[in-house]
Chains A and B, each alone.
Chain A
């Protein structure tokens, strides 16, 4: 018992001194892993950018099991990491319970709202960005039929689909939007083969632009679209370079910025509800040399006009998650 208390005491001292001395931030990746070419990887890129610019170091862990969610949060918090950033909605339940135990530690969760005084909840207005790329899809389409391929069928992805459909209909009210989801489990985030099949099915139904909001599955969608000589739209990161001249644009969700911002503010992280939208650069569409030839000046002008209208509030895009409903099909 004395041995035990000694160890506990030593651990506590280490934890305390570590907290006072460095307070390095920590980043927890979800089960998908760090290098998923999408969401988690964007978070890692943001953390790396912070590390390169400031010379600081950060702790990180890729989870192996569900029980480790709480464990990683508590261990990092006890070791004095501050702030602790985590990616993905699956942390919501756990963080709700853990956050009150560590009032001096700041947490940042991406894609989920956790209502605790020491938590920053970062959510993105994906429907706004999807609206913009939907407009572009409708303008680039010659057949009047465009496609949407989602990853896992969750409200978040329906939010993408709904924004996209609204954008398409705003340009061409008669356009047809074909929507497919890859699956109902987390495996749907990483199934490029199924992405290929769905793309081929949508092409057979006349689609000539497809938008993939499906994580790793999107790699298959973009590949097939390029092979079959139709246009595709990437998601999360700028994916235009994957098939130069075949990817119309990418809906940019700057997870990297969210992580970078959280780490930069360090222990002074401002908590509360943090909405990343078009207005503050959290959401946008990608323009570079790979898609310059595909996007005409008219197209860009129309989209930029819509973007500034959304930013100043004169145009509002319906958010599927507000009422679990979409006004357009």
Chain B
């Protein structure tokens, strides 16, 4: 089974790109499936099903979505094998711009759109920087110049990636992407493989459900901003160590 991780900011067109691309593989007689990761809600699974794509969804709920992803990815691969898929795609949104679900030796795709602003390639960090293929969407509604500027910015952040333009509505460019998905190595398991980039660090009192504000309630991995305030103004004080708190 071939396994591809697809990530990208919310509403960048991941689902549309995946459906259009898998359509070409389906036409070639391949069995395809998607595991959709999201936070609170998604009905994209219906969309996939409608297009004859086998699908499972995972909602992270209160958990960090990417920690949730990495804790479940091996099981997803095993599900794909059980379903006899030729190609399995994982779809996840890089919600805090700090995450990246990409795994070493597994084809990593990042989807980003022309409307998201020219500084976005710099902002979204690891999920773009560590990708093998960068798909730029929504090119049909911006000028040629903006497309060129945007692609140049992507190139500055990740000069090794292959950059493709795909239109999620008409499917332009998706055939070309599908050829890249069919030439990759097969994967039996991701157990023992490593993430390309570490996940965002956490584990403070808020991770565990704390809702009150103030230093007295902050424990664990907490960091304070330096607001350069003159001395004498009351600040909240530093974080409390896990050990010293009562």
**Bind each other:** no
Residues on B facing A (Cβ under 8 Å): none
Could you tell me which A residues sit within 8 Å of B by CB distance? none
